[in-house]
Amino acid sequence: MAERVMIFIDGSNLYHSLKHTFGRTDLDIGRFCRKLLGRRKLIRIYYYNAKVGMKEEPERYRHQQTFFAGVNAIPYSELRLGRLVYSHWPSVPPVEKGIDVQLTTDMLTHGFKNNYDVAILVAGDNDFVGALQAMKDNGKHVEVALFGRETTSQQLRRVADKVITINSRFLKGNWKSQQTHDSA
């Protein structure tokens, strides 16, 4: 029987990692998740992000709504939204609230309910180490998809059963527009 997999994506981490590493953010999330999955059985994709303020950032808000519609169109996906807190805007950038806690809660809840065999975390935040260890202690396999060199996210790398390196080779064929950005 194929392993049942749930994918948990920290959208902000994914966006900023793509922008920093590849200079582009037009990743096809559905194709990307199918690549992470391989031949295993997908149960659900959870994509976490914070909604941009419509009155604070109208242009970015419109782009984000289009992106969210695309995520919602992916079969077996669930968009989970936290919030952005705009204090002292625009001189101070907004702060995300509730994302990491929601992701951790979902991963733990689904794990304890035995809804998956393998959790794939797409995030670089060492704050998730405790949740991954808890799932391993509960008999689950945990994989972490990480950007960057092997010196990044050391605690996540140590706790994971498997590390998936997200590099240009892994992402080949996973972009919405297949322009050539192989030099990144």
| Residue 182: per-residue pLDDT | 44
**Dihedral sign for Cα atoms in the order 119, 128, 135, 71:** negative
Q: What is the token pair recorded at 56? A: 């604070």
**Dihedral sign for Cα atoms in the order 43, 49, 50, 54:** negative
Given the structure tokens 């950005």, which residue do they identify? 181
Distances from the Cα of 28 to the Cα of 73, 124, 171, angstroms: 12, 20, 10
Across 84-101, average pLDDT: 95
Cβ atoms 125, 48 nearer than 8 A? no
Across 19-42, average pLDDT: 96
Across 146-168, average pLDDT: 92
Q: What is the token pair recorded at 37? A: 């999955």
Distances from the Cα of 183 to the Cα of 23, 167, 168, 174, 179, angstroms: 10, 11, 9, 16, 11
Question: Is 50 exceeded by the pLDDT of residue 36?
Answer: yes
Q: Which CATH superfamily is domain 4-171 in?
A: 5'-nuclease (3.40.50.1010)
Name the band, by pLDDT with cuts 50, 70 and 90, for residue 179: low
| Residue 148: per-residue pLDDT | 80
Q: Could you tell me whether strands 77-85 and 95-97 are parallel, antiparallel, or unpaired per DSSP bridges? A: antiparallel
Domain boundaries, the chain: 4-171
Q: What is the token pair recorded at 117? A: 């065999």
Cβ atoms 108, 135 nearer than 8 A? yes
Mean pLDDT of the chain, nearest integer: 94
How far is Cα of residue 183 from the mean position of the Cα atoms in its chain? Answer: 24
Question: Is 60 exceeded by the pLDDT of residue 17?
Answer: yes
Across 151-177, average pLDDT: 94
How would DSSP label each residue in 20-69?
HHHS---B-HHHHHHHHHTTSEEEEEEEEEEEPPTTT-HHHHHHHHHHHH
| Residue 181: per-residue pLDDT | 46
